Structure 1
Amino acid sequence: MGEGIMRLGFVQVRVTDLEGARKHYVEIMGLQETARTEDAVYLKGWDEYDHHSIVLRKSDRAGLEKMAFKVHTFEDLDKLEKNLQHYGASIKRVSKNENFKVGEGVQFKLPSGHTMELFVDMEYEGKALPQVNPAPWPDGLLGVGAPRIDHLLISAEKPHETIDFLMKALNFHMSEKVVENEKSETPIAAWLFRSYTPHDIAIIPGKDEGLHHFAFWLDEFNDLRKAGDVFSKNDVPVDVGIERHGITRGQTIYYFDPAGNRNEVFTGGYIAYPDMPVVKWTVDQLARGIFYFNHRQEWIEGFTGVTT
């Protein structure tokens, strides 16, 4: 795990009302605004040290503009670039500061049409806590007080092609997958990781270039309950929750930002290792895999069908 992709670096999402989105992510989610330009706002959680993990970009529609993963070294970046070309990706070099406060990197498209970037360096901002003798959490957190970004889930018309590409070209590991039946191996959906969480990215069936959600980590279940209170106090549209996933074992609330991008607050789950056996879910048990508490099929179709 000490080489190649390290973790999810940032997601860049389109929002229709930049100020409305900024207020949501700062005042309700408790993120820190690190910079603002004419058409973008840069945000980070209190427990993140890079300059940003979320970029909000003004647009006429919601959705994912791009995702960027942080790589350990420039040597790793060169190796991954060669591997991407070997697997047929068309590479565009990204120069330093082409992404605000981010060093040079590479950009390419997944088979699903999503834009992905890899980078090594981002300007250091520092956590909201000191590095010497820190308290467990900073004073003055607003709303949910989300510490960091955790993962994202995208949709694809042919999920297995994007899953295969991420695993072969970028060395992602699979923690769990959905298959037709117990004897099937071809994934209908999959949860992939490069760090130690059950997923840094997941892929489900749906439209190409679709964003199902991106998620914020919360440290414990009580934080999830508090998030539910905060959403209700602020009339945030909640999609599902509090729920539990069979897949990943995480506990969750799904909700929408003002532009209609689905977000998630997520806690629990397990530590994932590259050598762990892949967990299989058969389609007939998928409802339980997604919502362990309320596994009603009609919920699942509405939930998985709505993307931006």
Structure 2
Amino acid sequence: MGEGILRLGFVDVRVTDLEAARKHYVEVMGMQETARTDEMVYLKGWDEYDHHSIVLRRSDRAGLVKMAFKVHTYEDLERLENQLREYGASVTRVSKGENFSVGEGVRFRLPSGHTMELFVEMDYLGKALPQVNPAPVPDGLLGVGAPRIDHLLITADKPHETVDFLMKALNFYMSEKVVESEQSETPIAAWLFRSYTPHDIAIIPGRDEGLHHFAFWLDEFNDLRKAGDTFSKYDVPIDVGIERHGITRGQTIYYFDPSGNRNEVFTGGYIAYPDMPVVKWTADQLARGIFYFNHRQEWIEGFTSVTT
């Protein structure tokens, strides 16, 4: 797994009030602002070493502009570009600096219409901790103090097409999927990974190009509880939580940024390996799969249908 796609590199999202969004991600989530223009804000977590993992972009509506995944080497990038073209994708080269502080890469669209990019290099800033004899946590963290981004979940009109694309053209592995019945194999929804977490990206039914959420990793359950306290203190609109997923086994709170983009703080789960057998959930148990604590069917419709 050391070759090819390594992990989610950054998400580029639209926000309707750039300053309100900056305050949310810096003062509530505890992200570090690394650069800023009149139209964009760049952010990273304290345990991230690349220049940014979130780009906030001023717009008249919320939603996802693009997602970018980091690739191990330029040889991997070329190989993946060839795979994408063989799969029928229209691929565009991205020049160095076209994305601020990011090296050259490639851009293409998923069958769901989402824009995805692959890159190898980003300017290195380092973590908030020293590389020699570091403490576990840096001093002076604000709010939640989120160490890093973790994954994103997108919606697609035909999820199985995007799942197939990600697995065949980009070598993603599947950890879990939702199917119609125990005898079915075609995924209604799926959780895919390239790192060692249960998912770096997930795809559920919905409109094409939709963003359900992007998520921040927290190290332990007590951090999740602290995050809930912080959201209450700052009147952050909470969608669901504290909850536990059956799918991925993670513990979670879902909430919204000031523009209406759904965020998640996530902890727990399991280590995923490429050779692990895929966990299958049947559609009749989806409520339990998403909300293991409170699997009430009426929650599902609003939770999965509200996207940006």
Please give the TM-score of this superposition, normalised by the length of structure 1. 1.00
Is it true that 1:173 corresponds to 2:173 in the alignment? Answer: yes
Look up the equivalent residue of 1:172 and give its one-letter code.
F
- 2:238 corresponds to which residue? 238
1:46-65 residue CA offsets vs partner (Å, 9 max, x unmatched): 00000000000000000000
1:239-270 residue CA offsets vs partner (Å, 9 max, x unmatched): 00000000000000000000000000000000
Q: Quote how far apart the aligned CAs of 1:38 are.
A: 1.5
Look up the equivalent residue of 2:236 and give its one-letter code.
V
Is it true that 1:70 corresponds to 2:70 in the alignment? Answer: yes
- 2:203 corresponds to which residue? 203
Q: Quote how far apart the aligned CAs of 1:2 are.
A: 1.4
- 1:126 corresponds to which residue? 126
Look up the equivalent residue of 1:10 and give its one-letter code.
F
Is it true that 1:220 corresponds to 2:223 in the alignment? Answer: no
Could you say what secondary structure the match of 2:225 adopts?
helix
Look up the equivalent residue of 1:137 and give its one-letter code.
V
1:162-218 residue CA offsets vs partner (Å, 9 max, x unmatched): 000000000000000000000000000000000000000000000000000000000
- 2:94 corresponds to which residue? 94
- 2:157 corresponds to which residue? 157
- 1:191 corresponds to which residue? 191
Q: Quote how far apart the aligned CAs of 1:37 are.
A: 1.0
Q: Distance in 2 between matches of 1:97 and 1:137?
A: 32
Look up the equivalent residue of 1:167 and give its one-letter code.
M
Q: Distance in 2 between matches of 1:116 and 1:226?
A: 33
Q: Quote how far apart the aligned CAs of 1:151 are.
A: 0.1
Look up the equivalent residue of 2:232 and give its one-letter code.
S
- 1:299 corresponds to which residue? 299
Q: Distance in 2 between matches of 1:190 and 1:215?
A: 16
Q: Distance in 2 between matches of 1:248 and 1:237?
A: 24
Q: Distance in 1 between matches of 2:76 and 2:210?
A: 28
1:119-169 residue CA offsets vs partner (Å, 9 max, x unmatched): 000000100000000000000000000000000000000000000000000
Is it true that 1:277 corresponds to 2:277 in the alignment? Answer: yes
1:59-81 residue CA offsets vs partner (Å, 9 max, x unmatched): 00000000000000000000000
Q: Distance in 2 between matches of 1:159 and 1:78?
A: 26
Percent identity reads 87
Q: Distance in 2 between matches of 1:302 and 1:56?
A: 26
- 1:5 corresponds to which residue? 5
Aligned length: 308
Could you say what secondary structure the match of 1:8 adopts?
strand
Q: Distance in 2 between matches of 1:153 and 1:86?
A: 26
Q: Distance in 2 between matches of 1:274 and 1:256?
A: 33
1:98-131 residue CA offsets vs partner (Å, 9 max, x unmatched): 0000000000000000000000000001000000
Q: Quote how far apart the aligned CAs of 1:281 are.
A: 0.1
- 1:34 corresponds to which residue? 34
Look up the equivalent residue of 2:285 and give its one-letter code.
Q
Could you say what secondary structure the match of 1:198 adopts?
coil
Once superposed, what is the RMSD of the aligned Cα atoms? 0.3
- 1:145 corresponds to which residue? 145
Q: Distance in 1 between matches of 2:18 and 2:156?
A: 27
Look up the equivalent residue of 1:43 and give its one-letter code.
L
Q: Distance in 2 between matches of 1:68 and 1:2?
A: 18
Look up the equivalent residue of 2:123 and give its one-letter code.
E
Q: Distance in 2 between matches of 1:43 and 1:34?
A: 6
Could you say what secondary structure the match of 2:258 adopts?
coil
